[in-house]
Amino acid sequence: MTVGGRVVEATGMTPAIARSMGMRFVHQDAGVFGDISIAENLALGRGFSTGAGGRVRWKELRRDAEKLLSRVGLRCDPAAILSSLSASSQTLVAVARALADIEESATILILDEPTNGLDPAGRDEMLALIDRIAHEMAIDVVLSSHLLADIERIADGVVILAGGRVVAQGLLRDLMAATASITLRTQESPDLLAHALRRRGHTVEESGPRELRVDYRSDDVYDAIRDTAVETETAWSISNAAPSPS
């Protein structure tokens, strides 16, 4: 594994080495604790500032927490118990903690399924933050996700794994352009969605029960799928994208 010119064998990697190489992680289990305050959660791993007699400097702790929370756009009382926040906000706290010393040494933020289990509003909030971290804070982000719609919205480059092997990699735009069709699965009858897509000029075939195949001509097809799914109130997911004929 090579990060910033430093090479370490994967088998010899440890949390301490990863941290020294500038990697910060937010795992699928975000590692936050609901029965302590937001400020205390943010201090975990970094330590608590103490004064005379080893007493915690609570005011300083909360001021630092406010700065970290503002970095991820979260407005809340640092003294509040973490469990009082929504699931998406708790994940934002975990991201804020990972970015705590970003100005000092972190170069890569690694996120494992950060939108898993979030409602649509929470997912939008998280994806917007990831995009801001990558493009405004200029921090490299490695995102692991099984939600293709999320990848399509924010990824620049993609590595696709199957059975532990790399089956495709490259710029997202290039990989998308190499596909001839997109297969969608719906939770109910796809008829309304198919009709709405055809009205927009897209070629659509029913490829199975509650399954549609939509011709891919440009990235605009993904916007059309999202828009028509909202219009027809159809729940959908991308099953797979077939390679274009050679």
Supply the pLDDT for residue 207. Answer: 76
Nearest 5°: the CA angle 71, 76, 80 is 125
Supply the pLDDT for residue 101. Answer: 72
Contact (Cβ atoms closer than 8 angstroms) between residue 188 and residue 234:
yes
Model pLDDT for residues 132-148, shown as the tens digit of each residue: 999 888 889 999 988 87
> Please, which pLDDT band fits residue 103 given cuts at 50, 70 and 90?
low
Higher pLDDT, 146 or 128: 128
Contact (Cβ atoms closer than 8 angstroms) between residue 236 and residue 225:
yes
DSSP, collapsed to helix, strand or coil, labels residue 126 as: helix
Contact (Cβ atoms closer than 8 angstroms) between residue 95 and residue 26:
yes
Model pLDDT for residues 179-214, shown as the tens digit of each residue: 667 888 888 889 999 999 999 888 898 877 888 888
- Rounded to whole angstroms, the Cα distance separating 128 from 114 reads 12
177 pLDDT above the threshold of 80:
no
81 pLDDT above the threshold of 90:
yes
CB contact set of 111 (below 8 Å; sequence gap of 6+): 25, 26, 95, 130, 141, 142, 143, 144
> Please, which pLDDT band fits residue 164 given cuts at 50, 70 and 90?
confident
- Rounded to whole angstroms, the Cα distance separating 62 from 123 reads 27
Nearest 5°: the CA angle 23, 87, 223 is 80
> What are the C-alpha distances in Å from 216 to residues 176, 184, 243?
8, 12, 11
246 pLDDT above the threshold of 50:
no
Supply the pLDDT for residue 245. Answer: 39
Q: Is the pTM of this model over 0.75?
A: no
172 pLDDT above the threshold of 50:
yes
80 pLDDT above the threshold of 90:
yes
What's the DSSP call for residue 81? B
Contact (Cβ atoms closer than 8 angstroms) between residue 76 and residue 41:
no
